[in-house]
Amino acid sequence: MGRAFEYRKATKLKRWGHMAKTFTRLGKQIAIAVKAGGPEPENNPALRSVIAVCKRENMPKDNIERAIKNALGKDQSDYKTMTYEGYGPHGVAIFVDTLTDNPTRTVADVRSVFNKFSGNMGTMGSLAFLFDHKCVFTFKKKDGMDMDDFILEMIDFGVDEDWEEDEEEGTVTIYGDPKSYSEIQKQLESMGMEDVGGEFTYIPNDLKEVTPEQRETINKMIEKMEDFDDVQTVYTNMAPEA
């Protein structure tokens, strides 16, 4: 999955570049995990996974604990995952992942940005053929770990054959079928992997080349989308800048 890894690495700074926005996004994910499985990480696999991602994104411990505490408040809203998709300027495909307590507000906000940039918002699933939906797990690599044997074993749990290693960070990233998320996480933890953080992502299978001027316009659209608190991540099939 070299294509997936390089694309994610090239676009991560763009998609998650603002620290405050990143912490807001992760805070909502914590809230969902706590509401679904309780506030104790040892008894809540989803919360453990989000916390691992929080640590990787350098979210302070106090922020994590505060997000868990806030999620227990009676006045907390229930967030729903909503995905919107369509074409932006210059025929670039765009996926917008959101967590919202008011879908009517969120769809209006997202639609307004598509309209502002002369885009075309489509129906759910209309661009599925342009992207691979994957779950992604990153974890600390054990000393002496034979990755070929490891992947061979993990294939039975829905993991793809290809994997990526970040030697500087000492981590391994694997990809798999989103429907196998829970099975993969459970197996990784049973194997004693540390700091297992799991997420979902959309990886374009056909990158669209754009000119510098076109890239600037599309980046402005993405930034406008990310101004909304409900927006978690914006994915496009725009080729990363060389």
Domains of the chain with CATH codes: 2-71 (1.10.10.200)
pLDDT digits (tens, 9 = 90+) for 12-24: 434 433 456 788 8
Instruction: Kindly tell me if the per-residue pLDDT of 74 is higher than 70.
Output: no
pLDDT digits (tens, 9 = 90+) for 43-57: 999 999 999 999 988
CA gyration radius, the chain: 18
Query: Residue 194's pLDDT band (boundaries 50, 70, 90)?
Result: confident
The pLDDT, as a whole number, for residue 1 is: 45
Q: Residues of 138-165 as b/e, b for ≥16 C-beta within 10 angstroms?
A: bbebeeeeeeeebbeebeebbbbeebbe
Q: Which helix H or strand E contains 138, and what residues bound it?
A: strand 131-140
- Report which of residues 75 and 13 the model is more confident about: 75
